[in-house]
Each structure stands twice: as structure tokens, then as C-alpha cells.
Structure 1
Amino acid sequence: MPNEISYSRKLGPLTPFVGEWEGDAGVDLSYHNKDDWTTETTYFEKACFKPIPVQENGQQVLWGLHYSMTAWRHGEEAMDPFHDEVGFLLWDKAHGEVMRSVVFGRGIAILAGSSAGPHDKVLRFDAKPGAAHYGILQNKYLLERAEICDFKSDFTVNDDGTLGYTSDLLLKLAATGAEMHHTDRNTLHRVKRFHPGAEHG
């Protein structure tokens, strides 16, 4: 299948992500402002990664995936999700970089990135507020109450074919005056495969 091989190579380290995934071992550690406590929430999650058309910024060429991740607290799978995000994972082969452009439903937008090779199994995405290239924006209410000081996340392609991730938001909480790490982690299992070049939108 020469077309698949050619397309997959252009996706670089993002190639194994293509498809639909589910994970039932999610753990969210976060501060609950209403109750003034920090606690862990376990969750079920669905994720989807679909190739997009090649993006050209002058001399820069980006190949990538449109993705979405939605999570439900255990026991609430038939109710509204407690977390929803959409974005793009992008691969810049010439400059050896991966990028994660993500918008969270809470009014947060992040462009994170780092260096990566075409066959890397662990991809890291870092961002800081105020950075000129990989930065963070959040709505006024959240900025005043839970200011994001740092964002780090990674995806790991495991040998058994699963996809693991961690996410860490360093927050400065107005309610306590202290900093805390809001973390999420899960392991996803692919539930649907499709040709890497079959969908572009």
C-alpha cells in the first residue's frame, strides 16, 4: 500500500495516533473551589485522531491530526461529560518539532510544543503564559482565581499498542494563595482503525 506508507511517513511520530480510542483508567487530580478541597476523580474517556490536509506557512510544512478528547466521571457515562477538548497535533519534519494546539471548554487555549524525531514514542508538549511561541491564554475569571503558571503534557505510544498520556497544569489558586498541580492521566485502547489518508477533515 504505497499511498499509506507515503502518508504515514509524513505524519512522523503522529502516525500511531490515527484512529478512535477509549480509556477507562483515567485519574484527574484537581482543586474543587466550591468545596475547598483537592481530590481525585476517576473517569472514562473517548478520543479521536483524524489526519488533516497538509498546512503550508510559507516555507514551513505541517502535517497533523485533528483530535478530540471527552471524559465522563465513572458512574456518569450517560450524563454530560466533565471534560471536553478539541485541537490539533502537528508535525514539522524540517525543524524536528511537534505541536499541540488545544482549546478546552472552560475557556482556555494553549499552544504547546517541543523537539521530536520522526520515530519518537514519547512526545512532550510544553507551554508557559506570556511565551512568544508556545503560550497559554485563559479567560478573565479563571486568570483571577486559578492562574495557569505552566503546562506540561506528554503522549506515549506503548509497546502493546496502547496510548498513554499525562497532563499537568501548575495553578496559582486565589482561594488558598498556594500553587498546586492539576494532573490528568489515562491509557487509551484503539477501538477503530482507518487508513491514515482516508479522511482529511
Structure 2
Amino acid sequence: MSEILGPQRLGPLTPLVGEWEGNDGIDLSYHNDDDITGQTTYFEKAKFTPIPKQENGQQKLEGLKYEMTAWRHGEEAMIPFHDEVGFLLWDKADGQVIRTVVFGRGIAIQAGATAKDRDKVLRFKADPGEPCYGILQNKYLLRRAELQGFTSTFTFNDDGTFTHESDLVLKLAATGQVMHHTDKSVLHRVKRYHPSAETA
């Protein structure tokens, strides 16, 4: 990914601004209907839009609101199987990037990463019960698929693509086992928010 010139108000989040697509996503999860753990491949769209500066007393945050939606291959014209919305925030003074995300199935996560202005890799982490970077889930999921940990990584690749990976650690009531529900997808930018070009 080419170096971004000038000041970066969004810090390491700067390269994300715009709209993205990817066709090689891989989801590893427990399939309740079949009682097996298996892979699902998917097509994904993502959108990252700058928000006004957020000020909390002396704290000043720059950030993006975002949405990511995924469709199983072969079901692109149908209802997506995954949908999330959230915010990505840059706290320059504390050297923190914050990912606040809500999944449509009743999960809310606030995950944090230590970062510098021009980092190319961001590693987010959240754990249940933590007062800052924690996890909440609805009662049904707590009984059936208790979330015990969350990590995710954003990587800005030299070819201009963006890779995101995530690992949800779940204790499954159906099997009595702990499993890692993982996702990985590589996205390329399809629209820039820039006065000189609508697409890239």
C-alpha cells in the first residue's frame, strides 16, 4: 500500500476510508443444523466513513463509522448471513485504537489495540468482564455459545488490499467443547472518498 502523504488525523485508520469488496472470505464456525464445524466461503462489502471529532473533556478522538456485510457464495442475491456495524476510534494521546462493534445476533464488543500513527497491523483484543475492552451477549447465546474471548487483526497490505481476521472463542453447549470461530477476508477498495477520483 503506497504511503499516505500529509497529516493523518485518523492515525493508523487513515487507509480504511472508502468502500471495499472481497470475494474470498472464509468463515469457520459450528453449524447447528448439521451438528458439525465447517467452513463457509463468502463475498463481503465494507464501508468506512469519517465522523466528527469526539471530545470527552480533555480526550479527543478521531474516527470512522463502519458497516460490514457478508453473503455466502451462491446466495449473493439473498439475505446476508453476517452483518455488523460499529465505530473505529483513534486516541492519539493514549496510543489506542478502539473498535466498538455490534453484531446483528445480539453481541456487542469493545476491543482495543495499542498503535502508532502509521502502523500497518492493528491487533484488537477484548475479554468478558473487562471494564474497558469487554464483551456482552444476549441470554440465549450465553447459554448456548458463551463468548470467552475476541481477537481481531487489521492488516494493510503492500498491494493496496486490506485483510481482516477475527477469532471468537466460544464454549458450545451442544458439544461441551471450546472452539475458535474464525473469519478471514481480503478486501480491495472500490470507491475512494477523495475529490480527484470516485473509484480506484
Q: Same fold (TM over 0.5)?
A: yes
Deviation at 1:183, TM superposition (A): 0.2
Once the two structures are superposed, the pairs formed by residues 73-84 of structure 1 within 5 Å of their partners are 73-84=72-83
Q: Which residue of 2 aligns with 1:199?
A: none
1:111-126 to structure 2, matched below 5 A, reads: 111-126=110-125
Match of 2:139 in 1: 140
CA distance in 2, matches of 1:27, 1:182: 11
Q: Which residue of structure 1 lines up, in the alignment, with residue 103 of structure 2?
A: 104
TM-score where L is the length of structure 1:
0.93
* Partner of residue 182, structure 2: 183
Aligned partners of 2:10 and 2:72: how far apart in 1?
32
* Residue matched to 1:34: 33
Q: Which amino acid aligns with 1:78?
A: A
> Partners in 1 of 2:180 and 2:161 — Cα distance?
25
Residue 55, structure 1, aligned to residue 57, structure 2: no
Q: Which amino acid aligns with 2:94?
A: H
Aligned to 2:198: none
Deviation at 1:195, TM superposition (A): 2.8
In 1, Cα distance between equivalents of 2:33 and 2:171: 16
Deviation at 1:34, TM superposition (A): 2.2
Tell me the percent identity.
72
**Equivalents in 1 of 2:29, 2:144: separation in Å?**
14
1:14 counterpart = 2:6: no
- Which whole-Å deviations, capped at 9, do the CAs of 1:81-138 have from their partners, x for residues lacking one? 0000000011000000001000000000000002100010001110000001100000
Partner-residue secondary structure (3-state), 1:53: strand
Q: Distance in 2 between matches of 1:164 and 1:109?
A: 22
Give the number of aligned pairs. Answer: 191
Q: Any runs of at least 4 consecutive aligned residues in structure 1 with deviations exceeding 6 A, and if so which? A: none
1:180 partner amino acid:
M
Distance 1:97 1:195 in 2: 26
- Post-superposition Cα deviations, 1:132-155, rounded to whole Å, max 9, x if no partner, equal 110000000000000000000010
Amino acid of the residue matched to residue 49 of structure 2? Answer: K
Q: CA deviation at 1:10?
A: 1.1
Q: Which structure is richer in relative contact order (CA contacts within 8 A, separation 6 or more)? A: 1
SS in 2 for 1:54: strand
Question: What is the root-mean-square deviation of aligned Cα atoms in Å?
Answer: 1.1
Unpaired runs of 5+ residues, structure 2, are 196-200
Q: Distance in 1 between matches of 2:34 and 2:23?
A: 26
**In 2, Cα distance between equivalents of 1:56 and 1:156:** 28
In the TM superposition, what are the counterparts of 1:58-97 in structure 2 within 5 Å? 58-97=57-96
Distance 1:162 1:52 in 2: 23
